[in-house]
Amino acid sequence: MTIKIINKSAHPLPNYETLASAGMDLRANLLESIVLQPMERTIVKTGLFLELPLGFEAQVRPRSGLAAKKGITVLNAPGTIDADYRGEVGVILINLSSEAFTIENGERIAQLVIAKHERAEWQLVEELSNTSRGAGGFGSTGVK
């Protein structure tokens, strides 16, 4: 699949690091560093603009290393970029650590996963079919 992209940053296009990678790293496109204080959030621009085909979305997800080592994650994970959006890709980052974190220009801040999706149609009914689980909610399957 080919996706049209405009890159207004000085950074390379997102790419798959290995043959089996599902996500591509997104980089911060900054004129100056951003200091993200504990429990503070900000939108970090990437300089990228996408034209996704209908039936696809781009999911913005946290980078596991940044989350595990620094407590930085994507607030609305996964964030969704719809096929009809043409604005700049931004990433909502939050600092869940107890220390300030500095975001530098070009830093890898999130992952981008391209995913196919379906459009559902509702069928209004009076009852649903029975299952062994039924209406059992959180923790009801007995898996610990």
Considering the domain boundaries, does residue 140 fall inside one?
A: no
What pLDDT score was predicted for residue 111? 98
Q: What global pTM score does this model have?
A: 0.89
10-residue block means of pLDDT along the chain (144 residues)?
A: 97 96 98 98 98 98 97 97 98 98 98 97 96 79 64
Domain count, the chain: 1
Considering the domain boundaries, does residue 92 fall inside one?
A: yes
Plot region of 8 (φ>0 → left; ψ -120 to 50 → alpha; else → beta): alpha
CA 68 to chain centre: 16
What pLDDT score was predicted for residue 144? 58
| Helix (H), strand (E), coil (C) string for 74-116 | ECCCCEEECCCCCCEEEEEEEECCCCCEEECCCCEEEEEEEEE
Considering the domain boundaries, does residue 41 fall inside one?
A: yes
What pLDDT score was predicted for residue 134? 82
| CATH code, domain carrying 95 | 2.70.40.10
Residue found by looking up tokens 């913005």 in the block: 60
Q: Which domain holds residue 101?
A: 4-116
Instruction: For the chain, give the number of residues.
Output: 144
What pLDDT score was predicted for residue 133? 83
What pLDDT score was predicted for residue 142? 67
